[in-house]
Structure 1
Amino acid sequence: MLQALGLGPTEEAVYTALMAQPTASAHDLARSTGIAAAETARVLADMETRGLVSVAPQPEHEESGPVGQPTGSQFVRYRLTPPSVALAPFLVEQRNALHQAESAFSVLIEQYRNTAVQSAAGVVEVVVGVEQVAHRFHQLQRGAQRELLLFLVGAPVAVPREDTDVSEGFALDRGVDFRVVAARDYLDGPDLARDVRAAITAGLEIRLVDSLPLKMVVSDRERAMVPLDTADSGGEPSAIVVHRSGLLTALVHLFEKEWAQARPLHTTTTGVRAEPTVDQHPTQGELEVLALLLAGFSDRRAASQLGLSIRTVERRTRRLMDLAGADSRLQLGWHAARAGWL
């Protein structure tokens, strides 16, 4: 208990033993505590200096020690200074030390928070508002020198598709390696098949997946932009721009993983879909149908995307199955992968 006030274990033992009797000598206290008499005498002398004990008056008949023993410091009798007087300064000292520790603790916490915020500010930048989001998006696309990686999901919010097309064309004209993974719902917009065909003709590589976890653009693997939920920004479009960091590395890894699993989207370079011909290899038009079917599109959705009739899609699908010797679309997909059609 007294150690909390700054007394050591030996001091506490001697102090507690002395509390049980009006006065006692080092010799008496050594017997009750089991501490050597010389050590007990040293502790008592130190405690006297600190005001914890005082020397008790010595009766005249006790001027000498026990019979046969000389007088000395071990036989000087001590008594406690009232704890309310002796221990109060120790309590105040401990309180002050605790207050200083709490103040230092608060300062360290604040310094750490400031450092963490400054560090995070160098990694993640928050952009809020349609104009600001669109501006940063175009900066990333137009500033790319080597590579652009995109996840396309659903309908655009802050950047219209026509503006995206302009940025894509600007990057492709400069020879930037441009790869896109698109979710099926991205192709639901009007005239998307035509726009995708034009982009592929210009050099863009695009693959399809059933779904993606987020929208994203990565520029030269140095910066990435990811939209935020509008609920987090009061209903306004917002996004984070991620700079070089472990987070950016994770986003690039996510893209490469989705890219490896996605299905390539084929289209004609002339804009005219070739009708099936008697051949042992799929035509370009058939590959367009195949890519959409393997991406999970129904015949009706595939027909709508390609501007074909359902009967034409069904006819191309039937011929693909004949070429593959497949009895089901599952077997068709397996054969297409094995034959390198996609």
Structure 2
Amino acid sequence: MLGELGLSASALEEEIYGILLGRTSATTTDIAQAVGESADAVLEALLALRDRNLVTRVPNIADPSTSSGHRLGDGAAPGLDEGASWSVTPPDVAFGPAVGQLRSELLRAETALSSLVQTYHRRRPAAPEFFELWEGKQAQAQRLFELERSATRSIWVFQTGGNVVAPVPLTFTEPRARPLPPPPPPTPSSPSGDEQNVSVPTGTDISYRVIVDTAFLTEPSAVRALDERLTEGHDVRVVDQQLIKLAIADESIAMMQVDTDTSVTFREPFVRLATELFHATWRRSRPYLREGTDLSSGDRLVLQLMLSGLTDEAMAKQLGTSSRTVQRRLRAMMDVAEVSSRVQLGWYAMRNNWV
């Protein structure tokens, strides 16, 4: 849990933090009994968490100097006895700045990549071996089909909202064993549109990694399309920050949206920028649906949509149900986790591999 946020923490620190996350407060003695460790070891872990502003000591009403409690260890700080109570610093206060910094770094990387591609193409128009522009919906759809059909090992994709070239409900229209024919070639009068998601089935030996954002999850039929991807054996993960439209084939050629009417394909050495961006985003993403949990597939989906920031109304629309039903399912999961808020439910889910 803490490691996924970029923090180095021992297994004991992780366990203690998880216990405090679900309680208003707990004493050192209570925590030691819960984790089955000595009070000295628990205090050492608590002090390490306190130094990183993850937990705080709740002041006792009685003067610590008059307490009859046993002092912990020769090096224990004054007043930190077994009866001392501890509580978790609100997660948004403790982690908000760090998560914001990660989001800013990814945004800067995406902006730098887009700027580099545009600047290089404008200054070096005589280098088609590195870059090619594709304008209009038909031209982009044709090149996207060719990109995916050319892959022999892997396809990596960022999927976001605004799907015009390949609407989400049509992402899978035929079994993978029966590839679709390419779309018709572009014509001067063809309408323009955005470069969109990889959408044409290919051979079953291609490894797919797909990262989606909240904007994609609000698209019509997004849940059904992702379920079909999982059925096809694709690795699907989710991030909270906005993604660009990007597809990478075999780590050797990439296609990226430049603006609302234009896409660009680029090769080595510039495709390395796209692959590094994909790797960085993949490391910070979370599984779309994790198998092997105690939750039903329906509950896992509700939880994933909640973690992605969708409103109750948006979740209900994706699931084809009512907001009240969504709220009841989340309340039931909160009861199982013995937590009182959706924030705590999210932390419990991460710690217990629910998502």
Normalization by structure 2: what TM-score? 0.54
Letter in 1 for 2:352: A
Output aligned runs, 1:227-306, within 5 Å.
Answer: 227-230=257-260, 237-245=261-269, 247-266=270-289, 281-306=294-319
CA distance in 2, matches of 1:195, 1:186: 11
Structure number with larger C-alpha Rg = 1
Query: Which residue of structure 2 lines up, in the alignment, with residue 312 of structure 1?
Result: 325
* Unmatched tracts of structure 1, length 5 or more: 1-112, 231-236, 269-279
Aligned equivalent of 2:221, options 191, 198, 203? 191
Aligned equivalent of 2:146, options 136, 139, 148? 139
- Confirm or deny: 8 A CA contact 1:127 1:240 kept in the other structure: yes
Question: Alpha carbons of 1:267 and 1:223: their partners in 2 closer, same or farther (altered >3 Å)?
Answer: same
Query: Which residue of structure 1 lines up, in the alignment, with residue 235 of structure 2?
Result: 205
Question: Alpha carbons of 1:267 and 1:305: their partners in 2 closer, same or farther (altered >3 Å)?
Answer: farther
Q: Deviations over 1:120-145 (max 9, x none)?
A: 43222222232221111011112111
Question: Alpha carbons of 1:289 and 1:218: their partners in 2 closer, same or farther (altered >3 Å)?
Answer: same
SS of 2:282's partner is: helix
Output aligned runs, 1:23-38, within 5 Å.
Answer: none
Q: Return the offset for 1:241.
A: 0.3
CA distance in 1, matches of 2:287, 2:243: 19
Aligned equivalent of 2:255, options 225, 231, 252? 225
Query: Which residue of structure 2 lines up, in the alignment, with residue 22 of structure 1?
Result: none
Query: Which residue of structure 2 lines up, in the alignment, with residue 123 of structure 1?
Result: 130
RMSD: 2.6
| Structure with more relative contact order (C-alpha pairs < 8 Å, separation 6 or more) | 2
Q: Return the offset for 1:164.
A: 4.0
- Stretch of structure 1 that moved more, 300-309 or 181-190: 181-190
Q: Return the offset for 1:325.
A: 2.1
CA distance in 1, matches of 2:294, 2:125: 59
- Confirm or deny: 8 A CA contact 1:153 1:215 kept in the other structure: yes
Q: Deviations over 1:206-239 (max 9, x none)?
A: 2222332410000010100011214xxxxxx221
- Confirm or deny: 8 A CA contact 1:180 1:206 kept in the other structure: yes
CA distance in 1, matches of 2:332, 2:247: 38
CA distance in 1, matches of 2:238, 2:160: 11
CA distance in 2, matches of 1:170, 1:153: 19
Question: Alpha carbons of 1:260 and 1:212: their partners in 2 closer, same or farther (altered >3 Å)?
Answer: same
SS of 1:318's partner is: helix
- Confirm or deny: 8 A CA contact 1:144 1:220 kept in the other structure: yes
CA distance in 2, matches of 1:297, 1:170: 29
Q: Percent identity?
A: 31
Normalization by structure 1: what TM-score? 0.56
Q: Return the offset for 1:289.
A: 0.6
2:188 is equivalent to residue 157 of structure 1: no
Q: Return the offset for 1:321.
A: 1.4
Question: Alpha carbons of 1:297 and 1:162: their partners in 2 closer, same or farther (altered >3 Å)?
Answer: closer
Question: Alpha carbons of 1:242 and 1:164: their partners in 2 closer, same or farther (altered >3 Å)?
Answer: farther
2:245 is equivalent to residue 215 of structure 1: yes
Letter in 1 for 2:316: A
- Confirm or deny: 8 A CA contact 1:181 1:206 kept in the other structure: yes
* Unmatched tracts of structure 2, length 5 or more: 1-119, 174-197
- Confirm or deny: 8 A CA contact 1:183 1:208 kept in the other structure: yes
